C-alpha cells in the first residue's frame, strides 16, 4: 500500500567509498544533478548503492541549512517565509529517500538493509531536530496565531493547520527532559520497525518445501505444478517441485492438495513466521514497540497510541473504531461458525475421518464451492490473463476519465520485470509515469502496495511537477508454456492498487505534503477499494476477461456462478480480518509501559473477538507487518471503515451508470485530485451529496439483503 515519507522515517546509509578517488563524488553521483531522463525518472542504471550515503548526508546538511535560514530571518514570520519555506525544504533528501525506500522494498539486499539500519537513527534525529527546534516552532506558531489576518486560500489554511499540529504532536510543547525521552523513543522505534520487516522477509525467504514424488501433490492443478517445477529447477532442485511461503506458491497447496500433511506443514510455516524463537523472532520486538508507542502517547498527553493516531483520522477515537468492529464482529462470527459447521458436515459426508483445522479450510471450502455453485476457482483463471487484466484496468480508467497508457520500454526501470507507462489525458497531455512490478522475488517484500518515486506538487514558481507512481504485486509468474493467469483475488488486487495509483496520478495540489495519498489512513482506501467494484461488473469483464487461448469472453454462465457465489465464505473472510483489526486496536490501546508476552496478549485479544479455532487471524502479531513495520498502527481497521465509503460511493455509479461522466468527474475532482487539502468528509459529501451509510457494505457482505 502506499507509503508517505513524513520526514523520511525509513531510510538508509553507510556504504564503501567510491573506488576511483580521482573523481569527485559530485561528478559521479546522479543524485547531485538534475536527472536528464524523461520526466525526471530516477536513472536506475546509474544509481549504485555507494551513492546513497553521500547523497543522504548532503540532503541532511542542506535541509538543516534551509531550516536555519528560516529561523535566522529578521522579518516577521509569514506564511510564505515560514510555512511555505519549511514545506519546500529537504528537496534533495526527499529525492534520495524516495529512491532508496522504494528499492529497499522492491529490490533489497544485505547491503541495502545495512544502510537502512545505520541511517535510521540519523534520520530519526534529523526529524526530531526539526520538530523540536524552538525557534522554528515559534515562527510557525506566530503564523498560526495570526492566520485570520492573512489572506490564505483553503489549501494554504490546511497546510498551516497540519504543519502546526505536526509540531505539537511531535513534542514541540514538551520540556527539555521530556523531549530527550521522546528522541530516545523515536530512535528505538525506527530501528525496531526496520528489524521487524527484515525478519519477516528473511523468514519468508528461508522456507522451502521440496517434493520429489508427484504422487504427493495430487489435487494440485497442472499449471501450479508446472510453476513449482520451474521454481525447483531455478533453485537447483532438478526434477523436483518447490513451494515457498509466497502466496502464489502457498495458496495452491492449501486450496488443492489432497495431502493433508503438506497443507498443515506449509500453513504452520506461514503462520509461525516471526514466532520460532530464533534470530528472526519478532515477539520481543513487537511487544517493545507497543510499549514505546504507549510511552510516547503518554508523553504527548494522549491516553494511548490509538488515541494519538486516530485524532487525525475520520474515526477520531478508539471508541468509534471499536464500535464499528464490535457491530461487524457480532454479524461475522455467527456466519463463520455456520460455515465451519458446513465444512465439517462435508468432511463427515466424505468420510474423511478428520476434525476441521485451519489448514483444511481453503481445501474444503473449494470443494464446497464446487458442489454448491458448480464453480471451480481454477476454471476462472484462464479468463484472467495478467496482461488482459492490466489492460482492463486501463480501459476502465479510459472510460471514466479519458486516461491513456502508453508502454515505454525506453524509460529507465529498476528491474527487468518492471513495466513502465506514460499516463496521458484524453488530449494527449502528460499526467505522470506509472511503474508496474508484478512478480515475487527474494529481494522483494510480500504483499501488494503503491508508492511514489515522486509525488505531484507545484514548484515555487507554480510549475506542475508530475508524479512518478509505482505499483507492486506478488503474482504467479508465467511458466514456459502458460502466461501469468490470475486468481479472482489477484484480479481484485490489481484493480485495488491501481485505485491507489490513480489517487497519486490524478492529484492536483500545490503542496507535496498534501498531494495524492497524503490523506487520513481511513480515507486512503476509498480510491483503491472502489476500483474493485468495477472489476466485477459484467460490462467491464466483457473487455478484459477473455480466455488466454481462444480469446472467448468469459461465458455468462460462469459470470452467473461468480455472482451467486460472491458472498460465499464471507464469514471466514470477515472473521479473520476483523479479528486482526481488533488485535491491532488492542495492541495500541494499552496505556502502560509494560512489555507484554506477545502470544498471551494475542490469545486474549482473539478470545475477546470470539474467533473460532478453525480460523487463524489474518495476521498474527509476529508477522503483522501492516502495524509494526508498515505505517498502519491503530489503522488496520481503515480497510473496513473505507469499505463503508467505497460501497456507498459505488452506489452513485450504479444509480447513474458505472461510466457516467458527471459522476466520474465529481469523483475525480473531489476525491482523487484533492488529496489532503480538505477534511475528508467534506470531500466525500462534495462528491456524493450526503454522508455515507453502512447499508451498501452490509449488502455486499451478505449480512443484509
> In the chain, how many domains are there?
3
- For the record, the C-alpha cell of 123 comes out as 534520520
65 within a domain of the structure (yes/no): yes
- CA distances to 252, 382, 417 from 484, rounded to whole Å, are 14, 9, 13
Same domain, 386 and 249: no
Output the pLDDT for position 27. Answer: 58
Q: For 97, phi and psi rounded to 5 degrees?
A: -65, -35
- In sequence order, the 6+-apart residues with CB closer than 8 A to the CB of 603 are none
Same domain, 145 and 219: no
Residue 13 has pLDDT above 80, yes or no: no
At 615-669, the pLDDT tens digits run 999 999 999 999 999 999 999 999 999 999 999 999 999 999 999 999 999 999 9
Average pLDDT, the chain: 94
Q: What is the pTM of this model?
A: 0.93
163 within a domain of the structure (yes/no): yes
- In sequence order, the 6+-apart residues with CB closer than 8 A to the CB of 684 are 526, 645, 649, 670, 671, 691, 692
Same domain, 41 and 137: yes
- For the record, the C-alpha cell of 456 comes out as 505531484
Output the pLDDT for position 380. Answer: 94
Output the pLDDT for position 378. Answer: 86
Read off the pLDDT band of 349 (50, 70, 90): very high
Output the pLDDT for position 2. Answer: 35
Torsion angle of C-alpha atoms 545, 546, 547, 552, degrees rounded to 10: 130
Same domain, 143 and 79: yes
368 within a domain of the structure (yes/no): no
Residue 335 has pLDDT above 90, yes or no: yes
Same domain, 543 and 662: yes
532 within a domain of the structure (yes/no): yes
SS3 433: strand
- In sequence order, the 6+-apart residues with CB closer than 8 A to the CB of 212 are 240, 241
Measure the CA–CA gap between 460 and 469, rounded to whole angstroms.
22
Q: For 453, phi and psi rounded to 5 degrees?
A: -85, -20
179 within a domain of the structure (yes/no): no
Residue 21 has pLDDT above 90, yes or no: no
Measure the CA–CA gap between 225 and 235, rounded to whole angstroms.
15
- Of 242, 271, 300, the last residue of a domain is 271
* Domain span holding position 672: 382-564+638-700
Q: 398, exposed or middle or buried, with CB in 10 Å at 0-12, 13-18, 19+?
A: middle
Residue 1 has pLDDT above 80, yes or no: no
Q: 574, exposed or middle or buried, with CB in 10 Å at 0-12, 13-18, 19+?
A: buried
- Of 225, 240, 271, the last residue of a domain is 271
Residue 16 has pLDDT above 90, yes or no: no
Same domain, 548 and 690: yes
107 within a domain of the structure (yes/no): yes
CA angle 213, 219, 225 (to 5 degrees): 60
Residue 230 has pLDDT above 70, yes or no: yes
Same domain, 444 and 516: yes
* Average pLDDT for 597-616: 98
CA angle 512, 518, 520 (to 5 degrees): 155
Assess whether 497 carries a catalytic annotation. Answer: yes
Catalytic residue among 422, 490, 497, 576: 497
- In sequence order, the 6+-apart residues with CB closer than 8 A to the CB of 350 are none
Output the pLDDT for position 26. Answer: 53
305 within a domain of the structure (yes/no): no
Output the pLDDT for position 19. Answer: 33
Same domain, 526 and 452: yes
For 240-244, 540-544, 677-681, 694-698, which range has the lowest pLDDT when averaged over its residues? 694-698
Residue 565 has pLDDT above 70, yes or no: yes
Region of 6 please: left (phi>0), alpha (psi -120 to 50) or beta. left
Residue 20 has pLDDT above 70, yes or no: no
Q: Find the helix or strand (DSSP H, E) in which 541 lies.
A: helix 538-544
Residue 357 has pLDDT above 60, yes or no: yes
573 within a domain of the structure (yes/no): no
Same domain, 264 and 163: no
Residue 511 has pLDDT above 80, yes or no: yes
Measure the CA–CA gap between 583 and 580, rounded to whole angstroms.
5
- For the record, the C-alpha cell of 443 comes out as 529481494
Residue 123 belongs to domain with CATH number:
1.20.1050.40
Same domain, 254 and 140: no
Residue 8 has pLDDT above 80, yes or no: no
Same domain, 214 and 147: no
Amino acid at each position: 500500500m502506499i507509503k508517505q515519507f513524513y520526514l523520511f522515517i525509513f531510510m538508509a546509509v553507510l556504504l564503501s567509498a567510491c573506488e576511483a578517488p580521482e573523481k569527485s563524488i559530485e561528478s559521479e553521483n546522479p543524485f547531485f544533478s538534475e536527472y536528464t531522463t524523461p520526466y525526471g525518472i530516477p536513472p536506475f542504471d546509474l544509481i549504485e548503492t555507494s551513492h546513497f550515503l553521500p547523497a543522504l548526508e548532503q540532503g541532511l546538511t542542506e535541509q538543516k541549512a534551509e531550516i536555519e535560514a528560516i529561523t535566522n530571518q529578521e522579518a516577521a514570520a509569514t506564511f510564505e517565509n515560514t510555512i511555505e519555506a519549511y514545506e519546500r525544504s529537504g528537496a534533495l533528501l526527499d529525492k534520495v529517500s524516495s529512491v532508496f525506500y522504494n528499492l529497499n522494498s522492491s529490490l533489497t539486499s544485505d547491503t541495502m538493509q545495512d544502510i537502512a539500519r545505520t541511517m535510521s537513527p540519523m534520520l530519526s534525529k534529523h526529524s526530531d531536530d526539526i520538530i523540536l527546534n524552538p525557534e522554528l516552532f515559534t515562527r510557525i506558531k506566530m503564523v498560526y496565531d495570526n492566520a485570520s489576518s492573512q489572506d490564505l486560500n483553503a489549501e494554504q489554511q490546511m497546510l498551516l493547520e497540519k504543519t502546526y499540529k505536526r509540531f505539537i504532536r511531535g513534542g514541540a510543547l514538551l520540556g527539555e527532559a521530556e523531549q530527550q525521552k521522546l528522541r530516545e523513543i523515536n530512535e528505538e522505534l525506527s530501528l525496531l520497525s526496520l528489524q521487524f520487516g527484515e525478519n519477516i522477509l528473511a523468514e519468508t525467504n528461508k522456507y522451502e518445501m521440496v517434493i520429489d514424488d508427484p504422487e504427493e501433490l495430487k489435487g494440485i492443478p497442472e499449471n501450479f505444478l508446472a510453476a513449482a517445477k520451474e521454481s525447483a529447477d531455478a533453485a537447483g532442485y532438478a526434477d523436483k517441485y518447490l513451494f515457498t511461503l509466497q502466496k502464489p506458491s502457498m495458496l495452491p497447496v492449501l486450496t488443492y492438495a489432497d495431502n493433508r500433511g503438506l497443507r498443515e506443514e506449509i500453513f504452520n510455516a506461514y503462520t509461525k513466521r516471526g514466532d520460532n524463537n530464533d534470530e528472526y523472532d519478532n515477539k520481543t520486538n513487537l511487544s517493545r514497540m507497543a510499549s514505546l508507542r504507549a510511552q510516547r502517547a503518554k508523553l504527548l498527553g494522549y491516553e494511548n497510541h490509538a488515541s494519538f493516531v486516530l485524532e487525525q483520522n475520520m474515526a477520531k477515537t478508539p471508541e468509534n473504531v471499536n464500535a464499528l468492529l464490535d457491530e461487524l464482529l457480532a454479524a461475522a462470527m455467527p456466519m463463520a461458525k455456520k460455515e465451519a459447521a458446513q465444512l465439517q458436515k462435508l468432511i463427515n459426508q466424505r468420510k474423511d475421518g478428520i476434525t476441521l483445522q485451519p489448514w483444511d479450510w481453503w481445501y474444503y471450502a473449494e470443494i464446497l464451492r464446487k458442489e454448491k455453485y458448480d464453480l471451480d476457482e481454477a476454471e476462472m483463471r484462464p479468463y484472467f490473463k495478467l496482461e488482459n487484466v492490466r489492460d482492463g484496468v486501463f480501459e476502465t480508467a479510459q472510460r471514466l476519465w479519458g486516461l491513456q497508457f502508453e508502454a515505454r520500454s525506453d524509460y529507465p526501470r529498476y528491474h527487468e520485470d518492471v513495466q513502465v507507462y506514460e499516463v496521458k489525458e484524453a488530449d494527449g497531455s502528460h499526467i505522470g509515469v506509472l511503474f508496474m512490478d508484478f512478480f515475487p522475488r527474494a529481494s522483494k517484500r510480500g504483499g501488494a502496495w503503491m508508492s511514489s518515486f515522486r509525488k505531484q506538487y507545484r514548484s515555487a514558481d507554480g510549475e506542475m511537477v508530475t508524479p512518478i507512481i509505482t505499483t507492486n504485486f506478488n503474482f504467479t509468474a508465467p511458466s514456459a508454456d502458460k502466461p501469468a493467469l490470475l486468481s479472482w483475488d489477484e484480479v481484485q488486487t490489481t484493480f485495488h492498487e491501481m485505485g491507489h495509483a490513480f489517487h497519486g496520478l490524478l492529484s492536483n495540489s500545490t503542496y507535496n505534503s498534501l498531494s495524492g495519498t497524503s490523506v487520513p489512513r481511513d480515507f486512503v482506501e476509498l480510491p483503491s477499494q472502489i476500483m474493485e467494484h468495477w472489476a466485477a461488473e459484467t460490462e467491464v469483464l466483457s473487455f478484459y476477461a477473455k480466455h488466454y487461448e481462444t480469446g472467448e469472453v468469459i461465458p455468462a454462465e460462469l459470470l452467473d456462478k461468480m455472482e451467486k457465489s460472491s458472498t460465499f465464505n464471507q464469514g471466514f473472510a470477515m472473521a479473520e480480518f476483523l479479528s486482526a483489526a481488533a488485535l491491532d486496536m488492542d495492541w495500541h490501546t494499552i496505556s502502560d509501559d509494560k512489555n507484554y508476552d506477545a502470544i498471551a496478549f494475542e490469545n486474549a485479544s482473539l478470545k475477546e473477538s470470539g474467533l473460532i479455532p478453525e480460523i487463524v487471524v489474518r495476521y498474527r502479531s509476529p508477522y503483522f507487518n501492516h502495524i509494526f513495520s508498515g505505517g498502519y498502527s491503530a489503522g488496520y481497521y481503515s480497510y473496513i471503515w473505507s469499505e463503508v465509503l467505497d460501497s456507498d460511493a459505488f452506489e452513485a455509479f450504479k444509480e447513474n451508470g458505472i461510466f457516467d461522466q458527471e459522476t466520474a468527474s465529481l469523483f475525480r475532482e473531489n476525491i482523487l485530485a484533492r488529496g489532503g487539502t480538505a477534511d475528508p468528509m467534506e470531500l466525500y459529501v462534495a462528491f456524493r451529496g450526503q454522508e455515507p451509510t453502512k447499508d451498501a457494505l452490509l449488502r455486499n457482505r451478505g449480512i443484509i439483503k
